[in-house]
A and B are shown apart, each in its own frame.
Chain A
Amino acid sequence: MFRGGRLTNAELNEAARHYDGPYRPYDIVKEVSVATGVVMLIAVILTILFSSPDLPPSTIASWSRSMPTDFVTTALSELDGTSETATYGPPYNHESGSVQQLAFIHLQQWLGVSHPVNAEYDLIIAPLRTIPDAPALQAAVTTYVHAPAKTQAAWTNAYSNALGKATEKQGGAVTVPAGSYGPVGPMMSSLLALAESGGLDGDLLTSKQFYQTDYTKPLLFLEDGSALDDRATYQHLQGTQWGMMNETGSYPGQVWLWLYTFWYQVQIGGLSTSPNVDAIVMAIMGVLSAAFILVPFLPGIRSIPRRIPVYKLIWRDWYSATGAPSKPPRTGDDAPALPSLRPTET
């Protein structure tokens, strides 16, 4: 039963089950084929005009050569356990520095350590142990490893303070004023030399098997330094630069992530600075994605197309040709059966 004015959603829904009006010729295979050809042509033209970006990756070797003091500072933070990686938490270790939660939901913690990374051992001690024919260095490493934690901290703190007065020499060496650094000085200088030679890149990929695709350790190490960060800032890829949807150079990036990165710009309620910002944004996007999928069932949202009648523009030719529209939809028992799409059978 139709009332005056707008149809209910149920009436609209029922009306859209049937169509017994005129048909027009249509070639679906031709349409998809032509569309594919057009898209391929556009892609080729864009390729010829703009190509695609491919900035070479940063390596630990290139980082240590161009920013030796930053490399040593980062390495020291891995050694003394103050780096982001050393304090991260699951899935890399049992710390809590980067552990996030949603109210009482601690998924990151609950799922535990699945990719163990011991920053001190995996990123510093183990690579130093691979350097051959260096008995003095190996003795220094042994001294450091077996020293009490308090002594280790005294050495690393002293060296950390000294790095503030460090000078970089041609060739990539870092010189710090004389001080009580124990074995830390030779350890850091040897690690720097190993990194500059390219050996540390390989060491951090070494595993029990010959083939390797897991870059967790070298990427975590790189991220703790400034090499990636500085390049990202220059390329407008930082979170505060809406970087999630940007690409290196002037290319369009993952523009479809605009709503993800939008939430990282929201300062209301301290969202963008919250220690749980990633978990909150992921949760928000999860809810919004579910809502997007469930639009047909969401009261209010599903009625927007009726209330903002863009459909009059989409079907303007149809409405003008049929007198808007020629007959009301029928519902109930007298509604016609779903006709075939072939006009001869309607």
Chain B
Amino acid sequence: MSSWTVRVREFGLRNLPPERLLPDSQPAYMASAIYLFGALTIGALVTIIASGTILALKGPAWWHVQSIGHFFNSIHLWSVELFFFFMVIHLWGKFWMAAWRGGRARVWMTGAVAFVIAIPTAFTGYVSQQNFDSQWIATQGKDGMNSLGVGSFFNVLNVGQMYSYHIFLFPVLVIGIVSLHILLVRRHGIVPPIPLADSVADAAAK
């Protein structure tokens, strides 16, 4: 019996051989600008993590008191806006491609979950800002959380707890689900075009 390590390695190689994980060719139908938005979403996520890491290195109050901190906070904010913008276009594009076809339902689902999880990730960032915006969002958001009992263990008025969620717990979830999404994309390949019904009918008649 092979070791656990060998099994994991064989599982990985079987499902994601190197040429599939890092392909140097793609089906010829991948020739639309819509395909760029997945990569742009990843690029925005990298920018968010990089700017967020710099902000985390200096602590949550830094950006309020130093202009260089404010600069990186601004990059963090705009990269979040870009992240959602690119991701929404990416999701719409995949919807109109019916990209879940051919056993790719998990690809769609992990992408959708990434969007859903990104929302509380951003929310915890907004309530961690320590300015008027965070005061208002926290006091208003608490009612939504409390109404379903979530507020009993997720206190949006506790900036320490929100900061922990924002810089560690939610990012781990987002990075994890996005990584899984990318691996599934590589595993299954990009979805082929929807056959045009007319030509299918013609072909079937021959």
Residues of A participating in the B interface, judged by any CB pair closer than 8 Å: 2-7, 12-19, 21-29, 31-32, 35-40, 42-44, 46-47, 50-58, 90-91, 98, 100, 102, 107-108, 110-112, 114-115, 213-216, 219-220, 222-223, 228, 231-232, 235, 237, 239, 243-244, 247-248, 251-252, 254-257, 276, 278-279, 281-283, 289, 292-297, 302, 304-306, 308-312, 314-315, 317-319, 321, 323-325, 327-329, 338, 340-343
Q: How far is the CB of A131 from chain B (nearest CB, A)?
A: 25
- Chain B, interface size category, equals 35 or more
Picked from B26, B101, B130, B139, the residue with its CB within 8 Å of the CB of A222 is B139
| A257 surroundings in chain B (CB, below 8 A) | 119
Picked from B32, B82, B109, the residue with its CB within 8 Å of the CB of A296 is B109
Q: A232-B136, A305-B95, A325-B199 are in contact. Are A26 and B194 (CB under 8 A)?
A: no
| B74 surroundings in chain A (CB, below 8 A) | 46-47, 50-52
Q: Which of B134-152 contact A (CB under 8 A)?
A: 134-136, 138-140, 143-144, 146-149, 151-152
| B198 surroundings in chain A (CB, below 8 A) | 324
Task: Name the CB-closest residue of B to A219.
Answer: B157
Q: A52-B73, A343-B25 are in contact. Are A35 and B43 (CB under 8 A)?
A: yes
Is B104 within 8 A of A16, CB to CB? yes
Q: Which of B81-106 contact A (CB under 8 A)?
A: 81-82, 84, 86, 88, 93, 95-98, 100-105
Binds A, one of B1-9, B15-23, B165-173: B15-23
Q: A24-B26, A52-B70 are in contact. Are A254 and B122 (CB under 8 A)?
A: yes
| A213 surroundings in chain B (CB, below 8 A) | 158-161, 163
| A53 surroundings in chain B (CB, below 8 A) | 131, 133
| B86 surroundings in chain A (CB, below 8 A) | 39
Task: Name the CB-closest residue of A to B135.
Answer: A57
Q: How far is the CB of A26 from chain B (nearest CB, A)?
A: 4
Cβ of B11 within 8 Å of any chain A Cβ, yes or no, is no
Is B28 within 8 A of A2, CB to CB? no
Q: A12-B98, A54-B64 are in contact. Are A19 and B40 (CB under 8 A)?
A: no
Is B204 within 8 A of A3, CB to CB? yes
Q: How far is the CB of B25 from chain A (nearest CB, A)?
A: 4
| A237 surroundings in chain B (CB, below 8 A) | 136
Task: Name the CB-closest residue of A to B143.
Answer: A278
Cβ of B56 within 8 Å of any chain A Cβ, yes or no, is no
Is A314 within 8 A of B158, CB to CB? no
Q: How far is the CB of B161 from chain A (nearest CB, A)?
A: 7
Task: Name the CB-closest residue of A to B119.
Answer: A256
Distance in angstroms between the alpha carbons of A55 and B147 in the assembled complex: 29
Residues of B participating in the A interface, judged by any CB pair closer than 8 Å: 17, 19-20, 22-32, 34, 36, 39-40, 42-44, 46-47, 50-51, 63-64, 70-71, 73-75, 77-79, 81-82, 84, 86, 88, 93, 95-98, 100-105, 108-109, 112-113, 115-116, 118-119, 122-123, 126, 129-136, 138-140, 143-144, 146-149, 151-153, 155, 157-161, 163, 189, 191-201, 203-205
Q: How far is the CB of B91 from chain A (nearest CB, A)?
A: 9
Distance in angstroms between the alpha carbons of A323 and B195 in the assembled complex: 11
Q: How far is the CB of A209 from chain B (nearest CB, A)?
A: 12
Q: How far is the CB of B164 from chain A (nearest CB, A)?
A: 9
Q: How far is the CB of A330 from chain B (nearest CB, A)?
A: 10
Nearest first, the 7 A-B pairs at minimum CB distance are A213-B160, A16-B102, A107-B149, A296-B100, A16-B101, A2-B204, A111-B149
Is B70 within 8 A of A12, CB to CB? no
Question: Which of B51, B98, B198, B205: most chain A CB closer than 10 A?
Answer: B98
Is B26 within 8 A of A341, CB to CB? yes
| A340 surroundings in chain B (CB, below 8 A) | 17, 19-20
Is B109 within 8 A of A16, CB to CB? no
Distance in angstroms between the alpha carbons of A282 and B154 in the assembled complex: 15
Is A54 within 8 A of B70, CB to CB? yes
Distance in angstroms between the alpha carbons of A36 and B200 in the assembled complex: 40
Distance in angstroms between the alpha carbons of A308 and B116 in the assembled complex: 25
Picked from A24, A90, A289, the residue with its CB within 8 Å of the CB of B146 is A90
Picked from B77, B135, B196, the residue with its CB within 8 Å of the CB of A52 is B77
| B149 surroundings in chain A (CB, below 8 A) | 90, 107-108, 110-111
With A15-B195, A32-B43, A43-B78 known, 5 other A-B pairs at CB within 8 A are A19-B189, A36-B47, A108-B151, A283-B148, A296-B104
